[in-house]
Amino acid sequence: MNIHSGLRFPAGMLSLALAASLCLAVDTHIWEQSDQSDFTRGTPKHLSIRSDGHLTLAPAFKELDSTTVPYLWAMAQDSKGTLYYAGGAPTGATARIFALAPGGKARSFADVPGLEIHALAVDAQDRLYAAVLPDAKVYRIDKAGKPQLLFDVKCKYIWAMVFDRSGNLFIGTGDSGVIYEITPDGKGREFAHTAEAHVRSLTIDAAGNVIAGTEPSGLVLRISPEGQSFVLFQTGKREVTAVAEREGAIYATGVGTKPATVTGPAPVLPSTPAAVSATGTPRIGTAPPAPAPPVGSLSAAVTGGSELYRIQKDGFPERLWESSSDIAYAIAFDSAGHPLVGTGNKGIIYRIDSDQLSTQLLNAPPTQVTAFLEGRNGVLYAATGNVGNVYSIGPGLESTGALESEVLDANTFAYWGKAHITSTANGGSLTLEARSGNLNNPQHDWSAWSRVGLSDLGGQIEAPAARFLQYRLTLSRSSSGPSPEVSVVDIPYLPKNVAPKVRHIEMGPFNYREAPASSSLERTVMPSGSPATISLPAIGQRKSAPATSSAEPISAATLQYSKGFITARWSASDSDGDSLIFKVEIKGSHETRWRLLKDKLQDRYYAFDSSSFADGEYVIRVTASDAPGNAADNALSSSLISDPFIIDNTPPEIAVRSITKEGPHCVLAFTAKDALSWIDKAEYSVNGGEWRLLLPVNKLTDSRILDYRLEADAGQLIAIRVFDEDDNVSVKQMSLQ
């Protein structure tokens, strides 16, 4: 979902638009839908979505049969146009073949011993062949639907079958990776040994060579009519699920992550043909056993995605398309020669328009498109899995298609503007509707769909103001015309302005203020021992004793000693993302009139000199305003008042209670007292010597009034100094007599 503020700019002004967005605040947001991902997050019906975000009508897509089997894996068509299709399930005793004659109804044609059928083929005499697994066998089905065993391969799997122009039937197997050939007279032989575990796909090229895709090395092989093998391409995937030939180029789909142990293909050697009977056992050795894939669908747990490759006539391979999540099962071509890829597990059929563009041509309701068959008059047939259906695709387009968009969440109550669509009608029409609501599920208690009257100046959305919005875009073509094309849908909206919030206010330690690195503020350690620089934790995480810091850069949370200054810090937020300015005011706790300290402040901290204020208890009020991002009559503000804090710039009092002589010594008793702050510490000096700490009589500095007792030799000159917690200091000097 693309949402931005402001106006749309021509491509040539993009840099200017970006620069302007840094300095100009705007109110209007634009919901832009222009990428393939934008449209696929909605619900398209009868629409194709190109990778650059263009919407068009999809090819006509019609369900021909919904079978009783969970998966269909193979299709074939005879010269009369009868379509055969089969699959199965990993349970049961027989696999069923279905037939659909032109203009007729689908029917059950044959039941073949075995769990699944993964390959069908029709010869020049319109005889149907079916390969079953496991315990791989090839059956020929007569016109009455009765299966006759033609070839017992004596392996587990048959994955593919294809006839060449001479009527030879080639069979791709697993788990021995052997390709077998059955000649027109019914004789079977080993044609090539691939040294792979599985031959998963087969086709015949223009020169009569067999093209095979393998597993687990992901090879594309070319095998000459004499059985000479050559690796055309080692893909980066584990399994080549489909191969096809078009105008001399070979196309192949690779899926899955290749095992770490597969570092390169073993040499692919031509094998000496071994004669076998039509129903007999090949008299050859077998390849080392390999783990067999499960019967049934390719697992949804297959990782590594899919790729489509094209191997040009001169042997140069290139990757045309890739997906990190789709599993490619089948390849076909449209009337323009573009390759089509049938995938799972979302049932998407892709058209590869170029090495830069692809199109999500359509979505089959089942989750897997497992096989294609190019039929007559430009019709393409598709078989599916989960569930086993058969569909026709094309040759024309759907007459109408629609997209229900994803739901726009404006994050707050919003007003809707004029929708703009970038499109080419091509003789067709576009219809836009919209609806809105205040629940994120549009199926419940939303407004009804309302039509948007489109024009060159856009169309006003009449849906009620709300938090959520959805549009429905319908494309319709003329009876014989091409599809309309849509590339961009823009919907402006204005969120109702929400007042910013000041979340928290903290008053920093007395006598500290923020200071930039170039500041010349005093940095010496005070006689009280207060550090020159302190670092405070994030707002709301204050600790009892801030950590000292002499190396960290000065910032809003790094304060420097400056006698009499107090720093206020605060956190604030605006759900609209507006820029904020702040006003800071102060008053005594019992006063009613606020006095301005600073207005139009962009920083989220402020330091002021407390020495201009009388001692007492005060509070700070911080007001946040979103005026920079809103018109004057639409700007909002809110305030927060701090907890009370003390301003104390008056030093403690030192009151001598008594001086008494005890032998050669004198005992000085005095009281330190402060009106507002706790006493922090007391020190004494004898005859101008160094200052020494003096503890209170009770050993604790826990009050605004503390008693002290000092014993010294008679005749000494004693100096006393007392600090309160705000670093105010009093000094008193006397001679002990």
Instruction: Kindly give the residue spans of alpha helices, DSSP state H, lying in 387-430.
Output: none
Residue 543 is predicted with a pLDDT of 47
DSSP, res 315: S
Residue 18 is predicted with a pLDDT of 34
- Both structure tokens of 286: 């077998």
Q: Which residue has the higher pLDDT, 631 or 395?
A: 395
SS3 string, 316-365, reads CEEEEEEECCCEEEEEEECCCCCEEEEEECCCEEEEECCCCCEEEEEECC
Q: What is the mean pLDDT of residues 677-684?
A: 94
Farthest-apart Cα atoms in the chain, separation? 138
Which DSSP string corresponds to 541-582?
---SSPEE-SSSPP-TTEEEE-TTEEEEEEEEE-TT----EE
Residue 1 is predicted with a pLDDT of 63
Give the count of alpha carbons within 13 A of 127, CB side only.
18
Instruction: Give the list of residues 6+ apart from residue 426 with CB closer than 8 angstroms, or none.
Output: 477, 481, 482, 483, 484, 485
Beta bridge pairs of residue 43 = 404
Q: Please determine, for residue 25, whether its predicted confidence score (pLDDT) is greater than 60.
A: no
DSSP, res 56: E
Q: How many CB atoms lie within 10 A of CB 192?
A: 27
Residue 418 is predicted with a pLDDT of 97
What are the tens digits of pLDDT across the range 555-579? 346 888 888 999 999 999 998 888 9
Mean pLDDT comparison of 275-284, 521-530, 656-665, 699-708, highest-scoring range:
699-708
Banded model confidence at residue 122, pLDDT cuts 50, 70, 90: very high
Q: 653-735, what's its fold? A: Immunoglobulin-like (2.60.40)
Q: Please determine, for residue 417, whether its predicted confidence score (pLDDT) is greater than 80.
A: yes
Residue 575 is predicted with a pLDDT of 84
Round the average pLDDT of the chain to a whole number and report it: 87
Strands (E), 482-636: 485-495, 501-507, 512-514, 533-535, 547-548, 558-561, 565-573, 581-588, 595-601, 605-609, 616-625
CB 171 within 8 A of CB 180: yes
Banded model confidence at residue 722, pLDDT cuts 50, 70, 90: very high
Banded model confidence at residue 548, pLDDT cuts 50, 70, 90: very low
Q: Worst-scoring range by mean pLDDT, 251-255, 431-435, 611-615?
A: 611-615
Q: What is the mean pLDDT of residues 527-555?
A: 59
Q: What is the mean pLDDT of residues 23-47?
A: 86
Q: 501-647, what's its fold? A: Immunoglobulin-like (2.60.40)
CB 95 within 8 A of CB 89: no
**The residue type at 687:** N
Instruction: Give the list of residues 6+ apart from residue 37 with CB closer than 8 angstroms, or none.
Output: none
What is this structure's pTM?
Answer: 0.73
- For 434, the 3-state DSSP assignment is strand
Would you say the CATH fold of 653-735 matches that of 501-647? yes
Residue 663 is predicted with a pLDDT of 82
Banded model confidence at residue 5, pLDDT cuts 50, 70, 90: low
- Using only C-alpha atoms, the chain has a radius of gyration, in whole angstroms, of 42
What are the tens digits of pLDDT across the range 266-314? 433 333 333 333 333 332 233 333 344 444 444 445 778 999 999 999 9
Q: Which residue has the higher pLDDT, 81 or 264?
A: 81
Q: Which residue has the higher pLDDT, 730 or 266?
A: 730
Banded model confidence at residue 532, pLDDT cuts 50, 70, 90: confident
- Domain regions of the chain by residue span: 2-58+413-423+431-495, 501-647, 653-735
Banded model confidence at residue 528, pLDDT cuts 50, 70, 90: low
